[in-house]
């Protein structure tokens, strides 16, 4: 692939935008700097065109999980266009947010009220504020990644890299008030004993226990129930972060699949098929506390977000998208396993099928990842060690993709044996986590 315009835009962006982009996961260095196009001009279904007119099938991160149905979904876009034509913003509120509150509480019958925002991290900050206001306590016990806000990054204050165990390494809490030290305490998924130890020490201070329902591995029997019971025991708010997990396996929160009921659940990403919308839903007793503190923002009232969410959920349900996403994700995971074995490569596969990932189990894994990205681009695929399924993915896309993966795994295996992996790279090895861009 020839990408001069894309590379020029990256260089231009680097001079004007610290870190080049607003999202770590869309930085070219997370794939392979020099070969990853980084910018798009158009996207439709599962196809993306870069600035140089190259067309790719996207078998990578699906807008990092936002575009659950596919790009420019005709039904969601039609609803959004109508909303724009009728006025996206005015001095009065839009009724779509009331309809969305009703619909989310209908899908999650344990919840009675909802607040809306536009991004995942900010909606988690809202949930944390509500929990702190409700309990009058400060500390948060959490597991997993929940965004960029002070409450979360403070976990790395005074520690080497407490968050390194929770999706992203290298997050520096510079700029986060030192006074927050010790207020966010991490525990690992399926390690109930770690949460028990935190609860033992901080029983009267914990406002909330926060976790994703599932991410990389299945919950062990009793783990989710144990977390629920500990929250009840100490009177903490149990918050389930559904920002990534929801709408992958079913048309709602993944906690419904596991039969575990939180006090508050938080949604974003897939909720609007790429249009900004986030929801905090919960029991009215807890949610009402939002009125005793101040949680308010102009752009949370615009109309596109809730309109897109209503259309996305409606379509998701009517086509049973969760079932399709599970099938597609499983096909990809099975294909990775079969082709790695065939080509003598040692890889580790994880994630629920619609949010799949694999890692090369070698010391030079990041060089291998970059070579995988580079060679898949040559076959016309945007691909990485993550695969997020979209409803627009069909079995034939997976078949074409796995055909290319077979050839690419063979080349990587060969390069690994001959020891010239590095030499075959046109770009740079992938970055592992957050690092300063030069
Ligand atoms: C579980 C979880 N929580 C929170 C966030 C932050 O959401 P956003 O990037 O929309 O701020 C993410 C993003 O990846 C996430 O996966």
DSSP state of 218: P
- Cα 196 to Cα 164, 230, 269, 340, 392: the distances in Å are 21, 8, 31, 39, 43
Residue 51: Cβ within 10 Å count? 18
DSSP state of 45: B
Q: Closest ligand 1 atom, CA of 278?
A: 10
Nearest CA to ligand 1 atom 14: 244
Q: Which domains are delineated in the chain?
A: 4-72+320-424 (3.90.1150.10), 89-302 (3.40.640.10)
Q: Closest ligand 1 atom, CA of 122?
A: 11
Report whether 115 contacts 295 (CB < 8 A): yes
Cβ–ligand 1 distance for 29 under 6 Å, the answer: no
Task: Report phi then psi at 162, rounded to 5.
Answer: -55, -35
Quickly tell me which residue has 């050839």 as its tokens. 407
Cβ–ligand 1 distance for 94 under 6 Å, the answer: no
- Beta-carbon contacts of 355 under 8 Å, excluding residues fewer than 6 positions away, are 65, 215, 244, 245, 248, 329, 386, 388, 389
Q: Measured in angstroms, how far is the CA atom of residue 355 from the centroid of ligand 1?
A: 14
Task: Report phi then psi at 48, rounded to 5.
Answer: -135, 135
Ligand 1 pocket: which of 146, 153, 267 to mutate (most atoms within 8 A of CB): 146
Per-residue pLDDT of the chain (438 residues; tens, 9 = 90+): 799 999 999 999 999 999 999 999 999 999 999 999 999 999 999 999 999 999 999 999 999 999 999 999 999 999 999 999 999 999 999 999 999 999 999 999 999 999 999 999 999 999 999 999 999 999 999 999 999 999 999 999 988 777 777 667 778 899 999 999 999 999 999 999 999 999 999 999 999 999 999 988 999 999 999 999 999 999 999 999 999 999 999 999 999 999 999 999 999 999 999 999 999 999 999 999 999 999 999 999 999 999 999 999 999 999 999 999 999 999 999 999 999 999 999 999 999 999 999 999 999 999 999 999 999 999 999 999 999 999 999 999 999 999 999 999 999 999 999 999 999 999 999 998 777 776
Nearest-angstrom CA–CA distance, 175 and 166: 20
Report whether 352 contacts 330 (CB < 8 A): no
Q: Closest ligand 1 atom, CA of 167?
A: 16
Cβ–ligand 1 distance for 119 under 6 Å, the answer: yes
């Amino acid at each position: 692939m020839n990408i001069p315009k894309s590379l020029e835009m990256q260089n231009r962006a680097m001079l004007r935008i610290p870190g080049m982009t607003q999202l770590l996961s869309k930085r070219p260095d997370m794939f392979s700097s020099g070969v990853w196009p980084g910018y798009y001009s158009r996207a439709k279904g599962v196809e993306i065109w870069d600035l140089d007119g190259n067309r790719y099938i996207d078998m990578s991160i699906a807008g990092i999980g936002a575009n659950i149905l596919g790009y420019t979904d005709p039904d969601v876009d039609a609803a959004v266009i109508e909303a724009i034509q009728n006025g996206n913003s005015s001095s009065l509120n839009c009724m779509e947010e009331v309809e969305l509150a009703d619909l989310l509480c209908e899908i999650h019958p344990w919840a009675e009220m909802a607040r809306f925002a536009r991004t995942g991290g900010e909606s988690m900050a809202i949930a944390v504020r509500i929990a702190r206001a409700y309990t009058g306590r400060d500390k948060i016990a959490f597991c997993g990644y929940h965004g960029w806000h002070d409450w979360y990054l403070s976990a790395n204050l005074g520690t080497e890299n407490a968050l390194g165990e929770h999706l992203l390494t290298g997050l520096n809490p510079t700029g986060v008030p030192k006074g927050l030290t010790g207020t966010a305490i991490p525990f690992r998924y399926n390690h109930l004993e770690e949460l028990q130890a935190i609860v033992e020490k901080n029983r009267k201070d914990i406002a909330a226990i926060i976790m994703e329902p599932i991410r990389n591995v299945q919950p062990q029997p009793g783990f989710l129930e144990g977390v629920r019971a500990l929250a009840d025991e100490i009177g903490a708010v149990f918050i389930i972060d559904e920002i990534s997990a929801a709408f992958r396996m079913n048309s709602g929160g993944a906690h419904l699949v596991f039969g575990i009921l939180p006090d508050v659940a938080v949604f974003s990403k897939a909720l609007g098929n790429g249009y900004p919308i986030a929801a905090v839903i919960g029991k009215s007793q807890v949610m009402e506390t939002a009125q005793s503190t101040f949680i308010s923002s102009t752009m949370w009232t615009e109309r596109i977000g809730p309109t897109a969410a209503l259309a996305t959920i409606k379509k998701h349900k009517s086509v049973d998208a969760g079932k399709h996403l599970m099938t597609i994700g499983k096909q990809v995971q099975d294909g990775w396993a079969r082709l790695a074995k065939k080509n003598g490569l040692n890889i580790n596969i994880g994630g629920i099928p619609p949010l799949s990932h694999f890692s090369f189990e070698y010391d030079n894994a990041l060089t291998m990842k970059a070579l995988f990205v580079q060679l898949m681009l040559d076959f016309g695929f945007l691909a990485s060690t993550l695969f997020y399924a979209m409803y627009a993915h069909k079995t034939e896309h997976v078949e074409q993709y796995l055909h290319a993966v077979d050839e690419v795994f063979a080349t990587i295996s060969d390069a690994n044996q001959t020891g010239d992996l590095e030499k075959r790279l046109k770009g740079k090895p992938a970055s592992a986590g957050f690092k300063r861009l030069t």
